[in-house]
Amino acid sequence: MTPPALRAGRDEDAADFIALIGACWAEYPGCVMDVDGEVPELRALASYYAGQGGALWVAEQDGRVVGMVGTRPLGDDAPGAAWEICKMYAYPDQRGSGLARTLIDTAEEFARAHGATAMKLWTDTRFDRAHRFYENRSYLRDGPIRALDDLSRTLEFTYAKPLTGVVVRRLDAAAAVSAIPRLATVLAECVNAGAAAGFHAPLAIDRARATWKRAASQAALGEKILLAAWADGTLVGTATLDLDMPETQRHRAELHTLLVLPAARRRGIGRQLLRAAETAALGAGRTLLVLDTPAGGDAERLWRAEGWTERGTVPDWSRTSDGAPEAATFFWKQVG
């Protein structure tokens, strides 16, 4: 069998599209397809997207379409700013091969080249495997569930992500839960590259996920604020503010887990996360911020450059996996 090759989708692929989408929907109970009643665009899909300024690609293997993706400008934001990923499908035997990743990367590249600054998509709430795929591609849940008045009684999640530049966002409960896979990757990669984040390396991805699952619940309860940073469409950094203080200290918060993936460092992302954390703290009525950081580490320069005050060093604050003591320096900053 030859490996699948990408090419532009054509209107004449209609029968293949209907077969592929029908097979994917059939994996989920209650998902039924009425082409002419509900998805008539499938009869001439390339023209449909081209007419809206978008595009369509297929992966073809031995003369058969085995994967597809489309994209189009949404036009509901600033002109050309947000584009949609549509009709992202691959047959089950193609999954895990990297084909879907290649397809979505191609669509994002096209959107970016045509002025997109953000991507959005709608996905059936039943398509749980697709959710993991989008979450690993740095898309997060965004806003309420959408109900379609269709034969399948479809409810859809919205997923979105910024596509260009460095963007920092505060995560609400739905976004925080959907960020777990990506945040776990950031945490595990940073710890395994030597970051002090309260874990010994190597940190297994399951433990990292469990950590963010807990943090997402705490964010939902208002005990934590979670921030995420994207660089050119990839979630590469995070910061956590702990708001859960004794009743005499509800004017303060602790900054934890400021992390940027090693490959994305020294681009100002840590600084942007730190500033966003300070703004978010103030918004939550917290005017005093405190953090501890490995004594003598590179991060100390960031705190000093951002006006944090050094408050001394505690020896034996943490221990390496061999039991060796490590000192921490404490910093504080009054905001507002």
Ligand X SMILES: CC(C)(COP(=O)(O)OP(=O)(O)OC[C@H]1O[C@@H](n2cnc3c(N)ncnc32)[C@H](O)[C@@H]1OP(=O)(O)O)[C@@H](O)C(=O)NCCC(=O)NCCS
DSSP alpha helices (H): ranges in 284-324? 299-305
Beta bridge partners of residue 146, listed in sequence order: 156
SS3 helix, strand, coil % of the chain, rounded to 5?
Answer: 35, 30, 30
Residue 259 binds ligand X, judged by CB under 6 A: yes
Residue 154: strand, helix, or coil: coil
Q: Which is nearer to ligand X, 154 or 240 (CB)?
A: 240
Choices 33-41, 135-143, 150-158, 262-270; region in contact with ligand X by CB under 6 A: 262-270
Q: Which is nearer to ligand X, 40 or 296 (CB)?
A: 296
Residue nearest to ligand X as judged by C-beta position: 270
Place of tokens 């460095």: 166
CB of 310 to ligand X, least distance (A): 13
Give 246-255's long-range contacts (Cβ < 8 A, gap of 24+): 250/285, 250/286, 251/285, 251/286, 251/287, 251/288, 252/286, 252/287, 252/288, 252/289, 252/290, 253/225, 253/281, 253/284, 253/286, 253/288, 253/289, 253/290, 254/289, 254/290, 254/291, 255/289, 255/290, 255/291
Q: Which of 79, 266, 315, 323 contacts ligand X by CB under 6 A?
A: 266
**Using alpha carbons only, what angle is made at residue 231 by residues 120 and 90, rounded to the nearest 5 degrees?**
45
Q: Which of 133, 270, 280, 286 contacts ligand X by CB under 6 A?
A: 270
> Which amino acid, one-letter code, is at 263?
A
CB of 266 to ligand X, least distance (A): 5
Q: Which of 260, 277, 280, 281 contacts ligand X by CB under 6 A?
A: 260
CB of 95 to ligand X, least distance (A): 32
Q: Pattern of binders to ligand X over 293-322, x per CB under 6 A?
A: x---xxx-xx--x-----------------
CB of 243 to ligand X, least distance (A): 17
Residue numbers 169-228 binding ligand X by CB under 6 A: 190, 195-196
Q: Which is nearer to ligand X, 65 or 269 (CB)?
A: 269
| Displacement of CA 14 from its chain's centroid (Å) | 32
Place of tokens 């082409």: 35
* Backbone angles phi and psi of 237, in degrees to 5: -155, 165
Q: Which is nearer to ligand X, 163 or 229 (CB)?
A: 229
Whether residue 307 contacts residue 262, with contact meaning beta carbons closer than 8 Å, is answered with no
Q: Which is nearer to ligand X, 196 or 220 (CB)?
A: 196
CB of 248 to ligand X, least distance (A): 25
Choices 23-31, 83-91, 291-299, 313-321; region in contact with ligand X by CB under 6 A: 291-299
Q: Which is nearer to ligand X, 71 or 329 (CB)?
A: 329
Residue 265 binds ligand X, judged by CB under 6 A: yes
Residue (of 186, 229, 225) closest to 208 by Cα position: 186
CB of 182 to ligand X, least distance (A): 15
Residue 269 binds ligand X, judged by CB under 6 A: yes
Q: Which is nearer to ligand X, 28 or 317 (CB)?
A: 317
| Tokens, residue 175 | 């976004």
Beta bridge partners of residue 209, listed in sequence order: none
Q: Which is nearer to ligand X, 177 or 231 (CB)?
A: 231
Q: How far apart are CA 288 and CA 282, in angstroms?
A: 9
Residue numbers 28-47 binding ligand X by CB under 6 A: none
Residue 132: strand, helix, or coil: helix
Residue 291 binds ligand X, judged by CB under 6 A: yes
Q: Which is nearer to ligand X, 27 or 298 (CB)?
A: 298
**Using CB under 6 A as the criterion, which residues of the chain lie in contact with ligand X when the complex forms?**
190, 195-196, 258-260, 265-271, 291, 293, 297-299, 301-302, 305
